[in-house]
Structure 1
């Protein structure tokens, strides 16, 4: 089977339904014997707020999933693809319905442009791409529907939450600091597939499903594509990629599961309290020796005979580097200045020693300049080199995407809870 790379939903919780691996014999009949089951094939597989999803819709989407995985389908993979197809179509129907409530319209031109990009990514023109789909027994309409839902949902989520998500300097500093401190451990590049389970029966279903997915991956299905189709983790839209991590940053059960594996390797299914995981260990590297490269600083400045007392008041009001302006505003005559990053090679030995021996997030003793100008410096963070850390902009973008993804997942769960969904 020829594999086609598909642009899948960015925000959807791809495997939220707990019946992921339940059998659906009617749909199986529709896929495997549609010529002899025309009446069944035209039937309804589910309805979402009275809007029908036909068995033909499910069959077309299931073929698309199997084509994207690039594996030779067997009975189990067909069943999985059918249920994933139905879950995905239910999600998309809810997304489009909600977008319509907010009067979000997606033009045919926008869909065409996305399809053209997708075709180009497969080295084809749009006409060739659609011909290839038809040759595989897939109605191109199913991909257009998926694109429409994807664009509408991104626009809706971006409009509702994009301006609300604020990533603070404190959050960025905290994440970068934790990354720095983990750099003295072995670094692992890992990806995940998460199948949620909330009852013993569901756990058994998810464990069996995880074994089936593992077998498909070992037979050649790309881990990232399987994660996009089946994982319920926020990382699903990124192929399950967690990036470089130390073992201490992973869940204990996941770290234990890949302990001793030689990359590239995939764990056996990992049972946790909230579901089942598969973990892919892609690369491993030795700890990076980090060296002090500089400091992220701010300062409070004042002058006059009562300068020391005012600085004491500021220090008492100070809570974080993010709120230096608030602390200064609380005391008359004190000015806050965010100095930003100061490389260590541009710092005098005296001050380098002072900043090195000052705990992060605290103030130095008072420094005196030009007679009566008094300054206390805040060491927001010690900057380490050799750790191959993301930039502040990259970390901000990463945290922002994570928050929006979590908000979008919660939004979709709320829609499901409030909807009338009938599976036939």
Structure 2
């Protein structure tokens, strides 16, 4: 339970940090110059000469470091292998362009770290590579062969590991020591958290597609295509955010964190207020483009959330014989429902299971919020000893959950001064890291071939 309270503290700090800023919580396109930034670009401009986006091939030289088409293809294959999927057509071409941008950033980060004499040793690379292999339940040699079979390579993964480790160390040495948080600022944030007690906050993920007025139709069509891919449920939302979002949050899977309605653009706030947990909505038209939203959770600040209650459950499962028809399954489910409604507490579950030939599974650690959305509302209103309606499929059988006990959630407490300070410092480090990467992009010499 202490772990849950700490997570609530961190979320509350995130909310306060968002309130402390002057901007909205919605992300923006990762441009170095917002809007026109004083560039004096006419609205009725005329393009002189031909513009062919296909001129830029998937090969680039970044400050004398070569990124080849093979590098791009192997990194795309690595993404496919990690997500156990195959990507084809236009989506694959978009992913290759995104990967090329990521490889350019990765190269700039490694180069900047090296300029400060920050390197990653072969032993450290081996250790990280072996840990990834363990995550795939393979030996390093087996994992290397697995990557080759899937069109990637050991070199591609090691390069990604090197970029992440080098940049983390650069931030710790060059940016973190220069990041300070004042005592009065921490006190102000704690006051903001107290003042927001009871307010609804949303945990959102976002895919942002930039679309200025002259490309509104193209942006809407692109966002709609991504919505269709998400609807296939072949990959998690974060996968599409990392690969297609044009916002600064793409590196974190589009995560906006915990935000309140008043910190969001009106269009986003209105959509979030109408969404159910687990729902994807969009495309939502916002200034400058379109957003696709995924509501992962919602709650009230510093208020006990009933969905954090831990349940003691017994699950009854009745299997159907092969070849059962829908009518037969419906009839059996109805009989199963009638039997579970007659239960007189959890003490009679095993007796009923023996009578029905059902399987019984016990679980004492499930939170209501960890259940499917359809079951959450049912469990919130269920009394101890009662059963849910049957649920399932003819292929997998029907199930019912019997509530044996409930440990209600406690109200969250204010985070400590140290927690607020650490969270605020990390947010500032991340912001300065983004600014540094933009500076590196501006100063880089990148030649596309």
* Shift in Å, 1:186: 2.8
Counterpart CA distance in 2 for 1:410 and 1:89 is: 18
Counterpart CA distance in 1 for 2:68 and 2:422 is: 39
TM-score, length-normalised on structure 1? 0.62
Unaligned runs of 5+ in 1: 1-12, 28-42, 291-384
Q: CA-to-partner distance for each residue in 1:160-212, whole Å, 9 max, x for gaps?
A: 11101112233333333333333323332222233456x44566655444333
* Higher relative contact order (CA closer than 8 Å, sequence separation 6+): 2
SS at match of 1:255: helix
- The 5 Å alignment of 1:16-415 reads 16=30, 45-196=59-210, 199-200=212-213, 206-218=219-231, 219-231=233-245, 233-285=247-299, 289=303, 386-387=411-412, 389-415=414-440
* Shift in Å, 1:124: 3.2
Using a 3 Å threshold, how does the CA distance of structure 1 residues 71 and 211 change in structure 2: closer, same or farther?
farther
Q: Is the 8 A contact 2:204 2:256 kept in 1?
A: yes
Q: 1:418 maps to what in 2?
A: 443
Using a 3 Å threshold, how does the CA distance of structure 1 residues 44 and 231 change in structure 2: closer, same or farther?
closer
Counterpart CA distance in 1 for 2:191 and 2:179 is: 21
Using a 3 Å threshold, how does the CA distance of structure 1 residues 132 and 45 change in structure 2: closer, same or farther?
same
Using a 3 Å threshold, how does the CA distance of structure 1 residues 224 and 171 change in structure 2: closer, same or farther?
farther
Counterpart CA distance in 2 for 1:135 and 1:111 is: 22
Over aligned residue pairs, what C-alpha RMSD do you find? 3.3
Using a 3 Å threshold, how does the CA distance of structure 1 residues 45 and 56 change in structure 2: closer, same or farther?
same
Unaligned runs of 5+ in 2: 1-26, 33-50, 305-409
SS at match of 1:137: coil
Q: CA-to-partner distance for each residue in 1:276-319, whole Å, 9 max, x for gaps?
A: 432210123467658xxxxxxxxxxxxxxxxxxxxxxxxxxxxx
Using a 3 Å threshold, how does the CA distance of structure 1 residues 44 and 248 change in structure 2: closer, same or farther?
closer
SS at match of 2:178: coil
Using a 3 Å threshold, how does the CA distance of structure 1 residues 413 and 245 change in structure 2: closer, same or farther?
closer
Q: 1:355 maps to what in 2?
A: none
Counterpart CA distance in 2 for 1:413 and 1:112 is: 30
TM-score, length-normalised on structure 2? 0.58
Counterpart CA distance in 2 for 1:180 and 1:135 is: 55
Question: May I ask how many residue pairs the two structures share in their alignment?
Answer: 299
SS at match of 1:221: coil
* Shift in Å, 1:421: 1.3
Counterpart CA distance in 2 for 1:205 and 1:158 is: 41
Q: Is the 8 A contact 1:195 1:277 kept in 2?
A: yes
Q: CA-to-partner distance for each residue in 1:217-246, whole Å, 9 max, x for gaps?
A: 333211223334444545444433333333
